[in-house]
Amino acid sequence: MAQKKKSSNYYYASQWTLMYAKFRKHKLAMASAIILIIFYLTAIFGNFIAPQGTEQFDSRYVNCGPTPVHFFHEGKFVGPFVYGLQKERNMETFMYEFSEKSDEIYRIRFFQQGQRGGEYKWLGLFESNLHLFEAEEGGVVFLIGTDYMGRDLFSRVVLGSQISLFIPIVGMILTVFLGILIGSIAGYFGGRVDNVIQRLIEVVRSFPQVPLWMALSAAIPPTMKPAQIFMLMTIILSLISWPDMARTVRSKFFSIKKEDYIMSARISGAPGSAIVMRHMIPSFLSYIIVRMSLTIPHLIVGETTLSFLGLGLRSPATSWGVLLQETNKLETIMFFGWKLLPMIFVFITVLAFNFLGDGLRDAADPYK
């Protein structure tokens, strides 16, 4: 009976229900989706989650390593706390090093009106000074250390993700728009129009990407506001990445044009617009979603690369690429290994998007 019920649901299942059922079976993709949701929520609530703002620094704690969070002091449970830090000069390298003072305990408090962390306007609407966590007066907590100006790296990763995770979405939308528009034109009209667009795609694709980015970025005047720079970077990235999407759309158009149900619609008297809107676009919408999920990591890496090369954003504006900019010196990596930690976030995000795309691709054709 249970079997019967299940199968009758299957009969009534629309394409999207079937796709979701199939997607859920892809464990890796499901996990990736959850990770990405967490990352995006973190970015949205970034000012609240980050203990510090982008512009706050503390010259006392320059190049400080991660401060471990402890729970037990001399065998006794006290809840999450950090030890006080002692700053000493290492006489071999002549650099300051931090060590824990085991007699100073600073508890970590949650949902505090920030003292170290500044005020912020959440989503640009609500003014607030509420922060997720902070050490007690006198103590500091740097989950993944600080940079050369004494800024909390964790805060910068979180705040940087607002740019690094959302710019690619804007870029993706632009890419998809251009791709569908140009691809559909090529696919629908075919013939000479298609030929011209195909050649254009080949020309755009044959540019070496990184130098082109660099050239275009160099054209952005450095006097511009960060927000404007983001916008321009996005447009630059999209202008280079639409051809793949256009190709997919075009080839889908061609293959679907040959399907019997398109012929059937035509014989039923459907006008061209109805054929495109009712039959063709829905039939490759799932593929477009797959392509979208694979375009985002491409753009994330693009943004990171540009900023890393110093061609995108510059401090104090923060993105993941800007954070990695500091690691382009060998001694940074040698002495301050934690400064590579932001890379892990880039890595996880890109990987998660790729797995997600993989799962979506498997699910995209539920009839096979």
Partner 1 sequence: MNKDNIVLEVRNLTKTYESGKTKVYALSDVSFTAREGETIGIVGESGCGKTTLGRCIVRGIEATSGEVILHKDGRQIDFLKATKSEMKELRPDIQMIFQDPYGSLDPRMTVYDIISEPLRYFGNSTKDEINRKVDAITEKVGLDKSFLRRYPHAFSGGQRQRIGIAKSLILNPKVVVCDEAVSALDVSIQAQIINLLEELQDELGLTYLFISHALAVVRHISDRIMVMYLGKVVEFGDTEDLFKNPMHPYTKALLSAAPIPDPDYKMERIILEGEVPTPVNPPKGCHFHPRCRYATEQCRNTYPPFEKRNGRYIACWNSGAMEAE
Of 77, 94, 126, 367, the one binding partner 1 by CB under 8 A: 367
Is residue 257 exposed (0-12), middle (13-18) or buried (19+ Cβ within 10 Å)? Answer: middle
Q: Decide: helix, strand or coil at residue 367.
A: coil
Binding mask 14-43 for partner 1 (x = CB under 8 A): xx--x-------------------------
Distance CA 116, CA 134 (A): 8
- Of the pair 126, 367, the CB lying nearest partner 1 is at 367
The Cα–Cα gap between 207 and 239 comes to: 12
Could you tell me which stretch among 122-130, 266-274, 292-300, 325-333 binds partner 1 (CB under 8 A)? 266-274
| One character per residue 204-223, x = contact with partner 1 (rule: CB under 8 A) | --------------------
* Binding of residue 267 to partner 1 (CB under 8 A): yes
CB of 295 to partner 1, least distance (A): 24
How far is 177 from 187, CA to CA, in rounded Å?
15
Chain residues 272-291 in contact with partner 1, contact rule CB under 8 A: 274, 278-279, 282-283
Distances (CA, A) of 154 to 57, 141, 146, 253: 13, 10, 8, 46
Closest CA to 246 of 298, 202, 213: 202
Calpha distance 345→356 (Å, rounded): 16
Based on CB atoms, which residue is closest to partner 1, 22 or 107? 22
Shorter beta-carbon distance to partner 1: residue 221 or 269: 269
Using the rule CB under 8 A, which residue among 3, 5, 11, 74 binds partner 1?
11
Please report how close the Cβ of residue 266 comes to partner 1 at its closest, in angstroms: 6
Binding mask 44-63 for partner 1 (x = CB under 8 A): --------------------
250 neighbors 194 (Cβ within 8 angstroms) = yes
Sign of CA dihedral 102, 105, 106, 107: positive
Shortest distance in whole angstroms from residue 267 CB to partner 1: 5
Residue 339 CB, shortest distance to partner 1, in Å, is 50
CB neighbour class for 164 (10 Å; exposed up to 12, middle 13-18, buried from 19): buried
**Binding-site size, partner 1 (CB under 8 A):** 25
